[in-house]
Amino acid sequence: MAKQKMKRKPLVIVTRKLPDVIETRLMELFETRLNLDDKAMGQADIVRAVQEADVLVPTVTDKIDAGVLAQAGPNLKLIASFGTGVDHIDLATARSRGISVTNTPGVLTEDTADMTMALILAVPRRLAEGTRLVRSGEWTGWSPTSMLGHRIWGKRLGILGMGRIGTAVARRARGFGLSIHYHNRRRVHPDLESELEATYWDSLDQMLAHMDIVSINCPHTPATFHLLSARRLKLLRPQAYIVNTSRGEVIDENALARALEAEAIAGAGLDVYEHEPAINPKLLKLDNVVLLPHMGSATLEGRVDMGEKVIINIKTFVDGHNPPDRVLETMF
Ligand code: 8YV
């Protein structure tokens, strides 16, 4: 069906505070309703927004499920999500109701890979523990045997999900002397494999059993929910570390907390959680865990780039064209 250019300015409802420059541009281009105090919307507010809006701009903190979409007004034609992950949106229901969905891929790849690398370094080298010790005032000075961590150089990094971010992590990790291993739905192009000197593991179980560090870089989909299940976590070696900058749901968080508590694995660096912003209380008690508040892509530059992508997606859509970052269920 041919798309038509909208005759009036579309009503764009943005669920969270975005960088000023993005909000200003949105207001220039569209009839825009902002959320200046940045309070996360409750489900009732989201429902009101989908009833009124032509375009909704949600973030990871908004659950756009079948129940919400069932109440969408006839004008809602585009969900232009601010972020790359789309697991907070029921894509199948959106499609069946004729609502297009876009995201912001690519612009947060390098920032997220940096944060992943930061966690890969921070956990084995006990960065957070070190800073806590100094700040506590209890540091008594250098000692040959205090704060010993584990060497990064020469270890094996297993990347679960070799997409844009996984590849960017691999490129960084090579500079730190890690050998690259990966598991992915599809084997990557041989040129990329040879550039990274990467070893492909068809069996995730096998890969997990042989790694020193495992980094989660796949999206959360029904197929990846609890991919690191209690059974798979048991395959990890006791000296292994896990880093997750993707989505908490990919790991069975309870089982992970139990494994860490029992010292069945050596540590974890987590930027994302299964029930954000709630954190499993067991994790909070552990020293061998670095916990970050979902800040993998949190750079000013990244947020502005994400906002610009949102604007381009909305503008092309309302002008009657296919938006560049259209998300289809078949992509996942
Ligand atoms: C974003 C993220 O900040 O883009 C993603 O998938 O996880 C984050 O880095 C967040 O989604 C914004 O909605």
Closest Cα to atom 1 of ligand 1 = 83
Tens-digit pLDDT profile for residues 191-203:
999 999 999 999 9
Is pLDDT at 67 greater than 70 in this prediction? yes
Residues 233 and 185 in one domain: yes
Residues 141 and 275 in one domain: yes
Is pLDDT at 6 greater than 80 in this prediction? no
Is pLDDT at 1 greater than 70 in this prediction? no
Instruction: Please indicate, yes or no, if residue 6 is contained in any of the structural domains.
Output: no
User: What was the pLDDT predicted at 247?
Assistant: 98
Residues 90 and 169 in one domain: no
Residue 4 pLDDT class (50, 70, 90 cuts): confident
Residues 154 and 76 in one domain: no
User: What was the pLDDT predicted at 3?
Assistant: 66
Closest Cα to atom 12 of ligand 1 = 83
Q: What is the pTM of this model?
A: 0.96
User: What was the pLDDT predicted at 7?
Assistant: 77
Residues 121 and 266 in one domain: yes
Given the CA of residue 85, which atom of ligand 1 is nearest to it?
Answer: 6
Q: Which of 16, 174, 294, 326 is catalytic?
A: 294
Instruction: Please indicate, yes or no, if residue 1 is contained in any of the structural domains.
Output: no
Q: Is 263 tagged catalytic?
A: no
* Ligand 1 pocket residue status of 83, Cβ below 6 Å: yes
Residues 115 and 192 in one domain: yes
Closest Cα to atom 6 of ligand 1 = 85
Looking at residues 74-102, what average pLDDT do you find?
Answer: 97
Instruction: Please indicate, yes or no, if residue 128 is contained in any of the structural domains.
Output: yes
Question: In the chain, what is the straight-line distance between the N-terminal and C-terminal CA atoms, in Å?
Answer: 24
CATH classification at residue 40: 3.40.50.720
Tens-digit pLDDT profile for residues 230-271:
999 999 999 999 999 999 999 999 999 999 999 999 999 999
Instruction: Please indicate, yes or no, if residue 329 is contained in any of the structural domains.
Output: no
Residues 147 and 122 in one domain: yes
- Percent of the chain, pLDDT > 90? 96
Tens-digit pLDDT profile for residues 121-159:
999 999 999 999 999 999 999 999 999 999 999 999 999
Residues 137 and 286 in one domain: yes
DSSP 79: E
User: What was the pLDDT predicted at 8?
Assistant: 86
Instruction: Please indicate, yes or no, if residue 144 is contained in any of the structural domains.
Output: yes
Residues 34 and 87 in one domain: yes
Residues 22 and 67 in one domain: yes
Question: What distance in Å separates the CA atoms of residue 113 and residue 164, rounded to the nearest whole number?
Answer: 9
Tens-digit pLDDT profile for residues 8-30:
899 999 999 999 999 999 999 99
Q: Which of 110, 247, 249, 303 is catalytic?
A: 247
Question: What distance in Å separates the CA atoms of residue 5 and residue 156, rounded to the nearest whole number?
Answer: 52
Phi, psi of 159 (to 5 degrees): -100, 125
Residues 115 and 187 in one domain: yes
CB atoms closer than 10 angstroms to residue 65: 14
Residues 60 and 117 in one domain: no
Is pLDDT at 75 greater than 80 in this prediction? yes
Instruction: Please indicate, yes or no, if residue 230 is contained in any of the structural domains.
Output: yes
Closest CA to 201 of 213, 217, 221, 187: 187
Tens-digit pLDDT profile for residues 170-186:
999 999 999 999 999 99
Q: Is 110 tagged catalytic?
A: no
Distance 141 CA to ligand 1 centre (A): 40
What's the domain count of the chain? 2
Task: Provide the 3-class DSSP secondary structure of residue 176.
Answer: coil
Could you list the residue range(s) of the whole structural domain that residue 76 is in? Answer: 11-107+299-318
Q: Is 210 tagged catalytic?
A: no
Task: Provide the 3-class DSSP secondary structure of residue 326.
Answer: strand
Instruction: Please indicate, yes or no, if residue 77 is contained in any of the structural domains.
Output: yes
Distance 132 CA to ligand 1 centre (A): 28
